[in-house]
Amino acid sequence: MIGGNDRRANSLEARDVATILHPYTNPVVHEADGPLVLARGDGIHVIDSEGNRYVEALAGLFCASLGFSESRLVEAAHRQMQALPFYHSFGGRSHEPAIELSERLIAMAPVPMSKVFFANSGSEANDTAIKLVWYYHNAIGKPRKKKIISRQRAYHGVTVASASLTGLPYTHKAFDLPLAGILHTDCPSLYHHGLPGETEEQFATRCAQSLEALILGEDPDTIGAFFAEPLMASGGCIVPPATYYEKIQAVLRRYDILLIADEVICGFGRLGTLFGSEAFGLKPDMISMAKQLSAGYQPISALMVNETIYGAVREQGGAIGTFGHGFTYSGHPVATAVALETLRIYEERDILGHVRAVAPVMQAALDGLAGHPLVGDKRGMGLIGALEITSDKATKTPFDPALGVAAKVGKFAQARGVITRAMGDMIHLCPPLIITADEIRDVVAKIGGALDDTLSWLE
Ligand code: PLP
């Protein structure tokens, strides 16, 4: 039975419902529906506990770039487990995988970077960046310059500070967030916020003017940093309008505001460039990354900082007596060894070249669904895309959320053997980077079928 609704006593499904609090899951619906229990992976496929096979068209959570059975990553983990399964990097301790990974990341960086700080998740990398914005401004004698701006619909994580950066209501509601001093400016979605007849450039100008008005209203001497995901992925696959970052960065430079690029999803080839910053001309002071850094096989994230930031951290840490920040598993040997092997595979197999070759197939196939009666907008770039579900194409009116229409498309797609992610009114597609052109056509055709199924269900 697809969907794993087997609720016999002592079944995995029943034991799950009895014991697990699931992230980003409606607990009431979960108690009724139960989990989908996955048993194993095979290339771009995952297989559930009942033997049903699905294409994982979201690469898990935008991370399993090399699919679900890459033996070289398993072997790299095994070798490192045998040599040195754990060590930390506090008090100047180190090991070769972390050193080599840092060297590689600095060499790959889209702008000159000085040092790499390792953590375990995207949220922790962004939390670290927030702390460094504060630490840096204290070090340079600007202790008022602490407020941070991100954007509506942004996704930067779930820890107290990174959830505050996130600009989605359900990460704040009832959690007493966002923290004071974390502000949100406009989401650069032309589809949602453009005026009738407005060009991309005109809309970009308006976004930059709105950012500047926010900065001036708050007092520029109190604004320390701006966070941006080059292409907003979870927030709706929002491709920035032409000239957006050019104009935003001009505003940031005018008021001496740091830029942090969140490359947690865009990094390592997703957009057909090594980093999303390259695709849109971002010149960040810090870059956070995770997910495809280890192809999702190990929990690891990294924050790269430039020489200006590092210089201030060096002075401040030296004066205080230590840089008082770090996680037990920062630079974990197994995680860094797997990340290193992942980067080697990307290079040896020219994964970037492959993405550039197959991305047009995916974008064209998704464009082919843009005319479907349920699709209000198709957005995408490289190997990421989204379809926005609407009840009225002309007025862009969404369906009543209570109907759960996008979720229904996701369910029908799953019944056809494709796992995607329905978020709000959107169906997201972000397959493993190793997907072939034929597999892409098959996945998108099945999503088209799921849209038809949904249309029939609505009638
Ligand atoms: N930043 C971006 C752009 C993300 O998409 C995510 C997670 O999806 C995060 C940060 C948070 O990463 P994590 O879930 O590893 O904490």
Query: What digits encode the pLDDT tens for the residues 6-33?
Result: 567 889 999 999 999 999 999 999 999 9
Note the pLDDT tens digit of each residue in 313-326: 999 999 999 999 99
| CA 166–ligand 1 middle distance (angstroms) | 10
* Ligand 1 binding pocket includes 156 (Cβ within 6 Å): yes
- Given a cut of 50, whether residue 2 has pLDDT beyond it is no
Q: Which two tokens stand for residue 33?
A: 């529906």
Note the pLDDT tens digit of each residue in 115-139: 999 999 999 999 999 999 999 999 9
| CA 264–ligand 1 middle distance (angstroms) | 6
Q: Cβ atoms within 10 A of the Cβ of 453, count?
A: 17
How far does Cα 121 stand from its chain's mean position? 11
E strand or H helix at 151: strand 147-151
* Ligand 1 binding pocket includes 241 (Cβ within 6 Å): no
Note the pLDDT tens digit of each residue in 351-369: 999 999 999 999 999 999 9
With pLDDT > 90 as the criterion, what percentage of the chain qualifies?
97
Q: Cβ atoms within 10 A of the Cβ of 52, count?
A: 18
Note the pLDDT tens digit of each residue in 139-167: 999 999 999 999 999 999 999 999 999 99
| CA 290–ligand 1 middle distance (angstroms) | 8
Q: Tell which one of 156, 159, 238, 421 to mutate to probe ligand 1, the residue whose CB is within 8 A of the most ligand atoms.
A: 156
In the block, residue with structure tokens 């209203």: 217
pLDDT of residue 8: 73
Among candidate residues 130, 129, 104, the one with its CA nearest the CA of residue 117 = 129
In DSSP notation, 88-138 reads --GGG---HHHHHHHHHHHHH-SS---EEEEESSHHHHHHHHHHHHHHHHH
Contacts of 55 (CB under 8 A, 6+ apart): 44, 45, 417, 418, 419, 431, 439, 442, 443, 446
| CA 60–ligand 1 middle distance (angstroms) | 13
* Ligand 1 binding pocket includes 120 (Cβ within 6 Å): no
Mean predicted confidence (pLDDT) in 252-278: 98
384: left (phi over 0), alpha (psi -120 to 50) or beta: beta
Q: How far apart are CA 459 and CA 448, in angstroms?
A: 17
* Ligand 1 binding pocket includes 234 (Cβ within 6 Å): yes
Kindly indicate the confidence band of residue 424, based on its pLDDT and cuts at 50, 70 and 90.
confident
Q: Whose CA is nearest to atom 12 of ligand 1?
A: 122
Q: Tell which one of 24, 58, 65, 123 to mutate to probe ligand 1, the residue whose CB is within 8 A of the most ligand atoms.
A: 123
Tell me the average pLDDT of the chain: 96
Among candidate residues 238, 259, 243, the one with its CA nearest the CA of residue 377 = 238
ipTM above 0.90, yes or no: yes
Q: How far apart are CA 38 and CA 13, in angstroms?
A: 11
Q: How far apart are CA 186 and CA 241, in angstroms?
A: 13
pLDDT of residue 450: 98
Q: Which two tokens stand for residue 408?
A: 């229904």
How far does Cα 188 stand from its chain's mean position? 17
- Given a cut of 80, whether residue 4 has pLDDT beyond it is no
